């Protein structure tokens, strides 16, 4: 395994091409198409026998289609005698279904982990899982990267004054605290609670944000409801400027409209999920995780440390 190759499906080929550009290697060739009934079909167009193969495929929208593509690609590489197969999943779909929070529901994040493992993946490389315990759902090694270095570099370059990092809920406190410590900023937490079904949430801001620049830190922005409610609460509490960052910009449903009509000045996202033309917004700033992934892939291939990328 003195060589390695990178392949991609249809989920985010632009990101895969950027990773290859950082590594100075061409993107692997394969034929991926769908039959008229929707079935995915994969044929590898070059020899991969004994090689270290990395398959870049976030399981973003359309989630089920991209997941099936990933599984079929892994199976194709396994049957083509690849030496090792690493599934590079910048965004791990179904991650929010990581526990049994209601009676008679599936733990789908575990199911997807089992599917990927059974398909033939030898290793997983991913970014900012929604819950750290998902690493334990796999029976194979998982390299769990964080987009924080990329985002923190951007924040530091802005030279914000009177900066406060804000967690939009109790579950994100650890992430927000890590950001605040790294850049020597204050920390605030938004406590939200629903008083009754279909009744608006009460948002309480814990921490002083009056006259300060606030940066809301989250891992996923989906419909942007929580984010916009948080921004409104900070605005009502006298925050001078409000920004937001996230690793995974799902941006479904009314997300863009909500963001555009909110007091948010800018929303910083990464390219773990492709940023399509229909999601263009004057408030969006996209950063790339391609270099981070490229360095991780190189270290994995060389069997050297990946944890050095966390700093």
Query: Would you name the residues annotated as active-site residues?
Result: 192
* Strand-strand pairing, 201-206 and 186-194: antiparallel
- Nearest C-alpha neighbor of 133 from the set 105, 166, 90, 100: 100
Q: Provide DSSP, 149-199.
A: HHHHHHHHHHT-SSEEEEESSGGGHHHHHHHHHHHT-EEEEEEEEESSTTS
For residues 43, 46, 52 and 55, what is the CA-based torsion angle, rounded to 10 degrees? -40
Return the SS3 of 72: helix
CA 256 – CA 68 distance, rounded (Å): 28
* Dist. CA 106–CA 112, nearest whole Å: 11
Residues 214 and 216: their CA atoms lie apart, in Å, by 6
Task: Give the Cα separation of 166 and 229 in Å (integer).
Answer: 13
**Of 186, 189, 178, which Cα lies nearest the Cα of 161?**
186
Rounded to whole angstroms, the Cα distance separating 230 from 115 reads: 36
Burial of 182 (0-12, 13-18, 19+ CB in 10 A): middle
E-state strands within the chain: 4-8, 30-34, 40-44, 52-56, 84-89, 123-127, 142-145, 163-167, 186-194, 201-206, 213-221, 241-249, 266-270, 284-287
């Amino acid at each position: 395994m003195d060589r390695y190759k990178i392949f991609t499906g249809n989920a985010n080929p632009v990101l895969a091409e950027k990773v290859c550009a950082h590594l100075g290697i061409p993107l692997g060739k394969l034929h991926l198409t769908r039959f008229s009934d929707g079935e995915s079909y994969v044929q590898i167009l070059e020899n991969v026998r004994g090689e270290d193969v990395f398959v870049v495929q976030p399981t973003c929208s359309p989630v089920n289609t991209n997941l099936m593509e990933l599984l079929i690609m892994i199976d194709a590489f396994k049957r083509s005698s690849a030496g090792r197969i690493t599934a590079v999943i910048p965004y791990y779909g179904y991650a929010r279904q990581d526990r049994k929070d209601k009676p008679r529901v599936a733990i789908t994040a575990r199911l997807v982990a089992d599917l990927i493992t059974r398909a033939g993946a030898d290793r997983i490389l991913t970014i900012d899982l929604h819950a750290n315990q998902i690493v334990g759902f796999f029976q194979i090694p998982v390299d769990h990267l964080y987009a924080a270095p990329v985002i923190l570099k951007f924040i530091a370059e802005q030279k914000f004054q009177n900066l406060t990092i804000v967690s939009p809920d109790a579950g994100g406190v650890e992430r927000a605290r890590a950001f605040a410590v790294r850049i020597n900023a204050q920390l605030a937490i938004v406590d939200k609670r629903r008083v009754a079904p279909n009744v608006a949430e009460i948002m309480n801001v814990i921490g002083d944000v009056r006259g300060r620049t606030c940066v809301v830190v989250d891992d996923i922005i989906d419909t942007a409801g929580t984010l916009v409610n948080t921004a409104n609460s900070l605005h009502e509490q006298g925050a001078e400027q409000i920004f937001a960052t996230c690793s995974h910009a799902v941006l479904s449903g009314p997300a863009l409209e909500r963001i555009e009509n909110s007091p948010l000045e800018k929303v910083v996202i990464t390219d773990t999920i492709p940023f399509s033309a229909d999601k263009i917004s004057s408030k969006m700033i996209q950063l790339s995780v391609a270099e981070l992934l490229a360095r991780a892939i190189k270290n994995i291939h060389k069997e050297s440390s990946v944890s050095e990328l966390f700093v």
